[in-house]
A and B are shown apart, each in its own frame.
Chain A
Amino acid sequence: MKAAVIVFPGSNCDRDLAVACRKAGMDVTMVWHKDTELPPGTDLVGIPGGFSFGDYLRCGAIAARSPIITAVSAHAKRGGYAVGLCNGFQVLTETGLLPGVLMRNRDLKYICRTIGLRVETTDSAFTSGYTQGQEIAIPIAHHDGNYTADSETVARLKGDGRVAFTYIDNPNGSVADIAGILSENRRVLGMMPHPERAADPLHTSQDGVTFFAGLASALADA
């Protein structure tokens, strides 16, 4: 299966994401934000963490208007898979592919540490390798991870089982402890934590391995 990792000026987790995808058996191409097309046969688009365009205006705002995003949106709209991690989640909300917005952390501090997440649904390619309610350790590293959406949107996300991960001990003020959400067709996922930083024996946690392995096997079956 083929993955395309988008690179923006200021992305800094693009290579980590590519390494994690390759370890799970994916064929990865790095795609520059000024490109207008994804490589033919792309199954998964990865939008990496970092500080695209220096977080100018709003996190992810400028990246979300990059030339490649038209192709990414078209890919998602025709049922393609996409994952946005950290800044990638911010980009996905700015494009409108996922609802809500990531605001400044409740305590106004940048937080960089490994935290506990709860797997809220296994009904997605991203979470199929976990068990329902499983608690996993994944690093976070963000200043703007405070997920906010209106109460109707949050109720809909919960009701449809589209909350993928919640924080066990909410670090940033996110509504309903939300750490990651799925699109309506469950093929686009955005999350603030970094599973790609928990995917190597040298990392403090390997709980992200399941994320990429599950994704690879679900894509292989698709």
Chain B
Amino acid sequence: MKARVHVMLKDGVLDPQGEAVRHALGTLGFSGVEGVRQGKVIELDLAETDAEAARVTVGEMCEKLLANTVIESYRVEIV
């Protein structure tokens, strides 16, 4: 079973990299990009076969390591 974790900066946390990407898009002529937020996608291959159990375990992984919950939020997707 695979899990996909999406880690994003929380709303309100300034994202300097996203801002730089937004500026670059403007330079390329893409007008109207009002905001860019950059995050991470982490894919996990799991031995677990129960989706609910996997979701719980991956949630713990996010809390302990994969996300820094001071500034980041995460979303777990079982695929």
**Footprint of B on A, CB under 8 Å?**
57-58, 61, 65, 93-94, 99-101, 103-108, 146, 148-149, 173
Contact = CB atoms under 8 A, between A and B. Distances in A.
A58 B68 contact: yes
A105 B20 CA distance: 12
A214 B17 CA distance: 39
26 contacts: A57-B65, A57-B66, A58-B68, A61-B68, A65-B64, A65-B65, A99-B70, A100-B70, A101-B68, A101-B70, A101-B71, A103-B13, A103-B14, A103-B16, A104-B17, A105-B16, A106-B16, A107-B16, A108-B16, A108-B20, A146-B16, A148-B13, A148-B14, A148-B71, A149-B70, A173-B16
A173 B19 CA distance: 14
Contacts of B70: 93, 99-101, 149
Residue among B13, B20, B65 having the largest count of chain A Cβ atoms under 10 Å: B65
Given A57-B65, A61-B65, 5 more contacts: A61-B68, A93-B70, A103-B14, A103-B71, A148-B71
Q: Would you call the interface of chain A mostly helix, strand, loop, or mixed?
A: loop
B67 to A, nearest CB: 9
A58 to B, nearest CB: 6
Nearest 4 pairs of A and B residues by beta carbon: A101-B70, A104-B16, A101-B71, A108-B20
